[in-house]
Amino acid sequence: MKEVQKIAILTSGGDAPGMNAAIRAVVRSSIYYKKEVYAIYGGYAGLIEGKIKKFHVRSVSKILGKGGTVLKSSRSEEFRTYEGRQKAYNHLKKLGIDALVVVGGDGSFAGAHQFHKDFGVKVIGIPGTIDNDLPNTDFTIGYDTATNTVTECIDKLRDTANSHNRLFFVEVMGRDSGYIALRACIATGAIAVMLPEEKMEIDELIQVLRIGYQNKKTSSVVVVAEGNPNGGAYEVAQKVKERYKEYDTKYTVLGHLQRGGAPSCFDRILASQMGVAAVEALLDGKNDVMVGIINNKIKFTPLVDSVGIHNPIDEELLRISKILSI
Ligand code: F6P
């Protein structure tokens, strides 16, 4: 088997804090192993347009602690088509690039897998998304930072909620996954969490709020995952307001601020480990796999095993959240 000589990296899908640390790790480890390394700007869309630049060891200086992705990102419709992927492949071929590292979520991995199938380019996925919605890794890059940001925001909301004896509904990201919401619920002592994975009826929520009120809670926070089947924070707040008048009710949607900010120490290290592992995997002949870390050990699983599969919610954390919110 021909050894990989030229490695390219791109970031794809929603940006996540720690992506820069992953870029740096891939670039530095490629150079350490005496391979050429190329950066692709703008995700798959940029690859289709040929936005590729050769990187050197200093090209990734001082990006380790920066939020977002210096390579920029996109969600490319064109890459879903064979013609789009053909254009992308032509650019790689012209430069003799034989391997591609993709930092992103499951949509990005689906694209990488198809790209490999179409043209034989070696591909490795690094899980980078704040949602933590991928199986085959305990954590995705960005999740820790995003949940720290959410915790900080809810702590601040709590100060004002307490001062006015108010009930706050806080909507967090996660698409159809409740990981961010559940972790935020426990970290902030929220009274309830509304998850996509376990539908909570409004009556049930009101019952929880009633008990809290009877137990002398002066203010309360309910964390609502954006994929909650009963609606987002605004809808849930309206429904509760109509039937339960004890509290003055407010809602806040945290939105994209959850994706910004300097990556936490945890995310920097996770991304560094995964970036080095991705390059070493390519040099070891691995291909079409995702790098994961499970129980502190690097694991490689086929890319397709992380595509379109819902990462089940942590039932133990859910149990704990219910015990502690009384
Ligand atoms: O996948 C990351 C994420 O932030 C989700 O939590 C959210 O649903 C989505 O991306 C938002 O996407 P966009 O930035 O394209 O609006």
pLDDT of residue 287: 97
pLDDT of residue 233: 98
Which ligand 1 atom lies nearest to the CA of residue 75?
A: 15
Specify the DSSP class assigned to residue 261: S
Taking the domain 143-260, which CATH number applies? Answer: 3.40.50.460
State the average pLDDT for the chain.
97
Specify the DSSP class assigned to residue 292: E
Average pLDDT over residues 66-88: 97
- Whether the per-residue pLDDT at 273 is higher than 70: the answer is yes
pLDDT of residue 326: 86
The ranges assigned to domains in the chain are: 6-142+263-306, 143-260
Per-state percent for the chain, helix, strand, coil, to nearest 5: 45, 20, 35
pLDDT of residue 222: 98
Is ligand 1 within 6 A of the CB of residue 288? no
Average pLDDT over residues 189-193: 97
Helix (H) or strand (E) holding 171, with range, is strand 166-172
List pLDDT tens digits, range 134-184.
999 999 999 999 999 999 999 999 999 999 999 999 999 999 999 999 999
Helices 106-119, 82-95: axis angle to 10 degrees equals 70
Is ligand 1 within 6 A of the CB of residue 131? yes
**b (16+ CB within 10 A) / e for 269-283:** ebbbbbbbbbbbbbb
pLDDT of residue 13: 96
List pLDDT tens digits, range 289-326.
999 999 999 999 999 999 999 899 999 999 999 999 88
75, 130, 141: which to mutate for ligand 1, most atoms within 8 A of CB? 130
pLDDT confidence of 1, banded at 50, 70, 90?
A: low
Q: Quick check: do 6-142+263-306 and 143-260 share a fold? A: yes
Is ligand 1 within 6 A of the CB of residue 129? yes
Looking at the chain, the whole-number percentage of residues with pLDDT higher than 90 is 98
Q: Please, are residues 178 and 196 in contact by the beta-carbon 8 Å criterion?
A: yes
- Whether the per-residue pLDDT at 131 is higher than 90: the answer is yes
Judged on CB neighbours under 10 Å (0-12, 13-18, 19+), 318 is: middle
Taking the domain 6-142+263-306, which CATH number applies? Answer: 3.40.50.450
pLDDT of residue 2: 78
